[in-house]
Amino acid sequence: MGLKDFEILHRLGKGSFGTVYKCRRVSDGEIYAMKRVNISHMKDAEIGDALTEIRVLASVRHRNVVPFLESFVEKGRELVLVLDFCDGGDLAAVVEQARKARRLLGEAKIWHYAVQLVDGYLHGRSIVHRDVKPANAFLTAKGEVRIGDLNVSKIVKDDKGGLMKTQIAVPKPTTGLGGPDQT
């Protein structure tokens, strides 16, 4: 596949690594999101980050992670990722809309989003996203959350330090500000 197989409909957003477009596949009219990354002036480490995103997306199949269709290099200078199109926008737009309307998001709605973000199950596969934020939480028309933009994610190969399994304990009760109970 190549760019010739897609019709660009409009720009969805621009980030530090690339630009995302809504596009239509010419062969069947299906709608996708297309991330285009100009790699011609990138350092090797930055190209590595872009390739990590492809590896991660291609290896994860979960209802709360943006589905990956394919990737290709166009004319040796542009890395192109074709992804499922999340037709509900992103969580940042939901938050901004609520802010402008001067209304709070209800607790049930916040839990609805939070549970799906956590359910993306990246840590169970030794993947650290490293950029979880509302702009990287995409929504379907039904309100389902899908984690995306994994270009700075890392795959932890050897977790001897236990970073992927760290638990935080509840501290012992104290009296006042001076430390543990003295009774």
Residue-level pLDDT at 117: 81
* Contacts of residue 1, Cβ cutoff 8 Å, sequence gap at least 6: 70, 72, 82
pLDDT digits (tens, 9 = 90+) for 66-122: 899 999 999 989 999 999 999 999 999 999 999 999 999 999 999 999 888 876 656
Is 131 labeled as catalytic in the residue annotation?
Answer: yes
Q: Using alpha carbons, select from 22, 131, 167 the residue that is nearest to residue 84.
A: 22
pLDDT digits (tens, 9 = 90+) for 15-39: 777 899 999 999 999 999 999 999 9
Catalytic member of 131, 158, 159, 181: 131
Q: Is 35 annotated as a binding residue?
A: yes
